[in-house]
Every structure is written in C-alpha cells, then in structure tokens.
Structure 1
Amino acid sequence: MSNHKELIAWQKGIALVKSIYELTKTFPREETFGLKSQMQCAAVSISSNIAEGYGRIFPKEPINFLNIALGSAAELETQLIISRELRYVSEVEYTEMSKQNNEVIYMLTALVKSFQK
C-alpha cells in the first residue's frame, strides 16, 4: 500500500464524514457548538488519524493512531445514540449512520491486528 488514500477504511471514513455533515445540518441551532460540532470533529478525526498513522515512519506509530481513530469512532457512536435519544435523528438515520460507523470500526480493528502480527 503506497498511501492511506488507498485504504478502504480511510475511504469509508471520508464517506462517513460527508454523511455526518449532511445529517447534522438539521440539528437545532443551539447545537451548533455542542453536539453537532462534536460529531463532526469525531468523524473527521477518524480518517485524519488513519492518514497520520500511515504518514509515520516507525512501525509502532500507525497502531497508536489507528487506536485513536477507533476511539473517535466509539465517541461518534455515543454521540449518535445521544442524537437519537434527543430526537435530532430518526431511528432510520441512526441505524444507517451506526452501520457506516461500525463498518469503519471493523476495518480499523482488522488494520490494528494486521500491524500487531
């Protein structure tokens, strides 16, 4: 793999960012600097940390950044649940976003395991 942009996990992370930005457009105005901003930051952090990890030279560094990306994905899952509980998103929207996020989590977990071998 020559760079992070070839990773399906990174590509799906970018798609997730776009979906989260689209989803949060409908959030109440008072959430502009609250939940909306946190969700957008968490989503952006996923692909950003994949890229940063792949930009590192030392073998153990990518694992650290992939773990940070996993943490951001877990944070996003929690924020999606809160959004559903507050009725900012429908059950259908929650299910779709959660599915996308879980795909990324699965791929990140596989990447971490491959680096640990």
Structure 2
Amino acid sequence: MTAVDGLHTVVFSANGRTIVSVSGEVDFTTVPRLRRALDAALAGGHGAIDVDFGAVPFCDCSGVNALLRAWHQAHDAGIPLRVTGVDAPVVVRLFQVLGVERLLGLRPAP
C-alpha cells in the first residue's frame, strides 16, 4: 500500500483479475499516485482490471482523465477495465455529467 497526500492505492491479483483498490480523494495533487497504480495493473499481465472506488469520497476531472487513459490502454491491449464500488454522490454525479459511467462499466449498455 502506498499513500500520497491521503490517497491510498493497493494493486493485487485475485481470481484471475487485477484489483486496484483506491481510497481517499482523487484530485490533481493525488492523481499521479492513481496513474502509477493503474500503470502497474496494466503491466501486471493479468486478465481483467477492476478499479475499486468504494472508498473514494471525491474525484475531480483529473481522476476521470486518469481512468479514461487507463481504459483506452487496456482496451487497446484487449484487457477489460471497469470501475467498481462508486458510491459517493459527488463521484457518481461527475461520471454522469461527463457521460463516462457506461464506458467505465458503472452501468450496463442498453
């Protein structure tokens, strides 16, 4: 586990998936930690990647940008990536306003 300015990330494998567990606020000062964790997950070579945002009370556009960057890299490599556990209303609303909830696996495609 690593922490930078209150953001904690843990990358581990379970059941053929790579899990990126994130806790704390994701903003322009902490997003480099998130990017490094996502890069480690992508380099890990395991099947799908789940980014657990269950303990993220706040995320700004820089965090969404990091998630989208990782999603595109994973997609290009044929690796499914989804964000799970998004519960904080402000994070849910940000993803909705930006229209990324379906892309990041937060709701099923119609």
Which TM-score tier does this pair reach, normalised by the shorter chain? 0.3 to 0.5
The structure with the largest strand share of the pair is 2
TM-score, with length taken from structure 2: 0.36
Q: Which has the higher helix share?
A: 1
Return the TM-score normalized by structure 1.
Answer: 0.34
